[in-house]
Structure 1
Amino acid sequence: MSTIPSITPGKLAGLRALSDERGVIAAAAMDQRGSLKKSLAKEKGVSDLPDSALVEFKELVTEVLTKHASAILLDPEFGLPASHRRNGKGLLLAYEKTGYDAATPGRLPDLLDLWSVRRLKEAGADAIKILLYYTPFEKSAVNDHKHAWTERIGDECIAHDIPFFLELVGYDAHGGDEKSVEFAKKKPDIVSGSMAEFGKAKYNVDVLKVEVPVQMEFVHGTKAFKGEAAYTRAEALEHFRDAALNTHKPFIYLSAGVSNPVFIETLELAAESGTTFNGVLCGRATWKDGIPIFAKQGPKAFEDWLNTKGVENINNVNEALKSAHSWFDKVGVGAEVPA
């Protein structure tokens, strides 16, 4: 007896467009804006760069890496020219403004002024991506604002029958150092609590894009370990399992700016834990090391680097994704359902 899909035709088509034939999302991420501009300017030794530099950087990354990815995440501000060079692969478009207002408590989110889900879909998006800074331990008034904001976006995606990817990035509600061992100890509860909250039906999220529930440099017994432990390897594996149990939704891991070797080891740990993760949206772990090359040696040298080291990086990720699971069962469809 066939299962009745729990997903609409438009959302199903969008997810299929972003996935490989196994139903695994092997997507590259290139929606960085403010942080990328600062990094490029710093490496070039200037205070600012023209927008055209960001556009060109995104075009080169997209053209090379989508040959080895199932999809690409871009922003509509600087990434639309790159979207036409994605080798026929799926397209996610970001809907949120980059960064957050540090002067306002709670890292409140905001949407791009001149965009809507309708406009992003008309620009070619197969799915909508939102980044939300979130911790369950924030003041309830702040989180209530974030909950309502996310509900509105979920409803907008329903109206246009397009998948909604919610990217959750944790932080310390009390302003503590997020690179410290103290924060590393809080991270499992932040990640698990966030996945539990936004897996609720009222948000209408289709895929959760989440951090792994540990900080790898604090996992004793890993290659990434730097000498100060927040968890044993066995405890880290349990944190992966606990976080995954907090949602029935498809979920994928983000690379969070770590190096390629650290991200690969992270995915190996996820596989060892037995979690049914459904892929990745991986950005900086594939192209970050090329920033100084683009800034100092120019676009051609960067393209050459992408075609060698960049491709090697993304193929490392693809190899690790052999342990990822299809999202088909989570949304009640079989592999035989046509695109």
Structure 2
Amino acid sequence: MSTKLTPGKLEGLKAVSDKRGVIAAAAMDQRGSLRKSLAKEKGVADVPDSALIEFKELVTEVLTKHASAILLDPEFGLPAAKRRNGKGLLLAYEKTGYDAATPGRLPDLLDVWSVRRLKEAGADCIKILLYYTPFEKSHINDLKHAWVERIGDECLAHDIPFFLETVGYDVHGESEKSLGYAKRKPEIVTGSMEEFGKARYGVDVLKVEVPIQMEFVAGTRAFKGEQAYTRAEALEHFRLAASSTHKPFIYLSAGVSNPVFIETLELAAESGTSFNGVLCGRATWKDGIAIYAKHGARAFEEWLNTVGVENIENVNKALKAASSWYEKVGLSPATV
């Protein structure tokens, strides 16, 4: 079952993909979390906007030489967008974080932006982050469903691809790093993929978490001693999640280290899932935050050109197991 892509959506997807039709994109749209991390490493209460802008420029300039595209935010990332080495551009449309005082982790859009404006700013694709779990109260999820429908329709009206990133959470407030959450995560990821793969949302690519927590998979290098799944069970969770949608989907790195993300992609490959690439941020540049904060731009640039490039090349090697999204939209590479 494939979805026929409109010309604008097809062009946008091709712009952020490699020749094979695999999305090998870097992510640099962190805002609030990046600001906090930079301030912490610098030992100060806050850092100026200029630090976020410069950090994004450096990451973009170096890493897009080895990526098919970059994901940026329009708040601090537009100067970086000019330094993306001719690669594709995804722009984030949501505000950073969520209001912790309101239950349900409800999302919000950037105030002075619209799909029209993001497209005018050079976006090839639009990205939205949504905190979501099928186990949330139905009235909260109903608000989220309507919100995604509106964005899907807006992207359809402007004929631009819509990437929806879903990140799970625990409705009871338990840590997402706990063993209990690790056991529930496969259902959360699979349920989210199943829901937003429905035609009514107009999502073109699902940007998803892997359906397991690596440190709880027995028999992996990342395993830390507490078991939520055997290796065979983990592989089956990958397959179940992948089979829950006909849409193209890519994995996000969710802040894990580069070695853990590489092992995760190896597990995805072993499971035989038809994943279509990655949007990988912190697994490539996170360890450079301390370098930039303590030693400045030049030292960070040197780090990016060595360790950062090595990190992204590790991801690219693991992406040999990824499948083209062409088949999922009813196209053959020869016709694209």
Segments of 4+ moved more than 4 angstroms: none
* Structural mapping, 1:1-339, within 5 Å: 6-338=4-336
Distance 1:4 1:323, change over 3 A: closer
Aligned-partner Cα distance in 2 for 1:187–1:5? 28
Aligned-partner Cα distance in 1 for 2:183–2:104? 21
Distance 1:4 1:208, change over 3 A: closer
Aligned-partner Cα distance in 2 for 1:77–1:161? 23
Aligned-partner Cα distance in 1 for 2:199–2:11? 20
Give CA-to-partner distance per residue, 1:47-104, whole Å, 9 cap, x none.
0111000000000000000000000000000000000000000000000000000000
Q: TM-score, normalised by structure 1?
A: 0.98
**Kept after mapping to 1: 8 A contact 2:133/2:188:** yes
**Kept after mapping to 1: 8 A contact 2:91/2:127:** yes
Deviation (angstroms), 1:183? 0.3
**Which amino acid counterpart does residue 167 of structure 1 have in structure 2?**
E
**Which amino acid counterpart does residue 159 of structure 1 have in structure 2?**
A
**Which amino acid counterpart does residue 325 of structure 2 have in structure 1?**
W
Give CA-to-partner distance per residue, 1:109-142, whole Å, 9 cap, x none.
0000000000000000000000000000000000
**Which amino acid counterpart does residue 195 of structure 1 have in structure 2?**
M
Distance 1:25 1:4, change over 3 A: closer
The secondary structure found in structure 1 opposite 2:333 is coil
Deviation (angstroms), 1:333? 1.3
Q: How many residues align?
A: 336
RMSD over aligned Cα atoms = 1.0
Aligned-partner Cα distance in 1 for 2:17–2:97? 27
Give CA-to-partner distance per residue, 1:193-228, whole Å, 9 cap, x none.
000000000000000000000000000000000000
More displaced stretch, 329-338 vs 292-301:
329-338
Deviation (angstroms), 1:4? 9.2
Give the gaps of 5 or more residues in structure 1: none
Deviation (angstroms), 1:234? 0.1
Aligned-partner Cα distance in 1 for 2:65–2:23? 14
The secondary structure found in structure 2 opposite 1:336 is helix
**Which amino acid counterpart does residue 335 of structure 2 have in structure 1?**
V
Deviation (angstroms), 1:176? 1.1
Aligned-partner Cα distance in 2 for 1:277–1:322? 11
The secondary structure found in structure 2 opposite 1:238 is helix
Deviation (angstroms), 1:5? 6.9
Give CA-to-partner distance per residue, 1:284-322, whole Å, 9 cap, x none.
000000000000000000000000000000000000000
Aligned-partner Cα distance in 2 for 1:309–1:329? 35
**Kept after mapping to 2: 8 A contact 1:5/1:333:** no
Give CA-to-partner distance per residue, 1:229-280, whole Å, 9 cap, x none.
0000000000000000000000000000000000000000000000000000
Distance 1:4 1:53, change over 3 A: closer
**Which amino acid counterpart does residue 176 of structure 1 have in structure 2?**
E
**Which amino acid counterpart does residue 318 of structure 2 have in structure 1?**
A
The secondary structure found in structure 2 opposite 1:235 is helix
Distance 1:4 1:26, change over 3 A: closer
**Kept after mapping to 2: 8 A contact 1:15/1:127:** yes
**Kept after mapping to 1: 8 A contact 2:2/2:328:** no
Give the gaps of 5 or more residues in structure 2: none
Deviation (angstroms), 1:182? 0.3
**Kept after mapping to 2: 8 A contact 1:216/1:266:** yes
Aligned-partner Cα distance in 2 for 1:4–1:318? 27
Deviation (angstroms), 1:337? 2.9
Aligned-partner Cα distance in 2 for 1:283–1:199? 24
